[in-house]
Homo-oligomer: A and B are copies of this chain.
Amino acid sequence: MTENLQGYAGSLLDTLRDRGPMVHHLTNMVVMNFTANVTLALGAQPVMAPCIDEVKEMVAMAGALLLNIGTLDPPLVEAMVEAGKEAKRLGIPVVLDPVGAGATKLRTEAALTILEEVRPAVIRGNAGEILTLAGEGGLVRGVDSMEELGEREEALRAFAEKSHTVLAVTGKVDFLTDGTVDIRVRNGHPVMARVTGTGCASTTAVACFLAASPDMPLEGAASALAAFGLAGEKAAASSRGPGTFVPALLDALASLDGMTLKREARIEVSR
């Protein structure tokens, strides 16, 4: 199945580029420009429209909806819930990035509210953030913390199953689970941790791929993380530091094709 998954990833990227779906973002102010460019580089069309007065209309045109709480306030969370419910009603996949869950009460509660009210197809975060949502605490320092999952994997599986959500925990190795099947993705490069918004941008990649594969969120999310990580590897090789890495990453994403992704993705179904 691993080989199949890499082939699936490659085909999915081609499908994504063919269809060019619109991906509606309600996201944080730090990464709006960067993630809009990631969306375009992957062949999709970004829309960033956070006002509650228009989110329902806008999401109806989207292939996927991304909710990211990085610079949240209560009106934005309200707009996210409204957009998310409408997306679910229309069968449009929703991806949640619970930035900083565990760091403050506001963030933890916002993420749990969205989880409860919207039931996203995929949650993409780091270990601390997702373990917080799973009720496993987990210290969150800054918003980029990582930790070895180890025995906590079982807690994640249980949480994924109970909440009917695919979890995509990124780190040195990305760990994805829907409660039944686990996938590990080994693409990526350490410099990505030294650039702001690479986590958020990987969530954008997940949303783009889900727009092309709404019925297979686990496989779609794994494909997205492999593509994003692989572009990171290529960008690291052609840049001189975290500054030149960013434009190189967008170039690498834009020039990635399905054949290369099939060949160089490192996706393992581990259970």
Are A247 and B250 in contact, with the CB atoms below 8 A?
A: no
Given contacts A32-B29, A61-B141, A247-B247, contact A53 B40 (CB under 8 A): no
Q: How far is the CA of A146 from the CA of B81 in the complex (A)?
A: 32
Interface status of A10 (Cβ within 8 A of chain B)? no
Per assembly, the copies of the chain total 3
Q: How far is the CA of A142 from the CA of B63 in the complex (A)?
A: 11
Interface status of A255 (Cβ within 8 A of chain B)? yes
Q: How far is the CA of A54 from the CA of B70 in the complex (A)?
A: 12
| Residues of chain A from 1 to 56 with CB closer than 8 A to chain B in the complex | 22, 28-34, 36-37, 39-41, 45-51, 53-54
Q: How far is the CA of A32 from the CA of B30 in the complex (A)?
A: 5
* Interface hub of A58, A107, A241 (most chain B Cβ within 10 A): A241
| Residues of chain A from 196 to 244 with CB closer than 8 A to chain B in the complex | 196-197, 240-244
A residues with a Cβ closer than 8 A to B are 22, 28-34, 36-37, 39-41, 45-51, 53-54, 57-58, 61, 70-74, 100, 103-107, 141-144, 194-197, 240-255
Are B241 and A103 in contact, with the CB atoms below 8 A?
A: no
Are B104 and A37 in contact, with the CB atoms below 8 A?
A: no
Given contacts A53-B106, A195-B37, A254-B194, contact A47 B142 (CB under 8 A): yes
Are A36 and B45 in contact, with the CB atoms below 8 A?
A: no
Q: Report the minimal beta-carbon distance from A101 to chain B, rounded to whole angstroms.
A: 12
Which residues of chain B are near A249, meaning CB under 8 Å?
Answer: 243
* Interface hub of A242, A243, A255 (most chain B Cβ within 10 A): A243
Q: Report the minimal beta-carbon distance from A146 to chain B, rounded to whole angstroms.
A: 12
Are B32 and A142 in contact, with the CB atoms below 8 A?
A: no
A251 closest partner in B (C-beta): B241
Task: State which of B30, B45, B50, B245 has its C-beta within 8 Å of the C-beta of A144.
Answer: B45
Q: How far is the CA of A141 from the CA of B71 in the complex (A)?
A: 27
Q: How far is the CA of A237 from the CA of B263 in the complex (A)?
A: 30
Which residues of chain B are near A243, meaning CB under 8 Å?
Answer: 37, 41, 246-254
Q: How far is the CA of A128 from the CA of B222 in the complex (A)?
A: 36
Which residues of chain B are near A248, meaning CB under 8 Å?
Answer: 243-244
Q: Report the minimal beta-carbon distance from A61 to chain B, rounded to whole angstroms.
A: 7
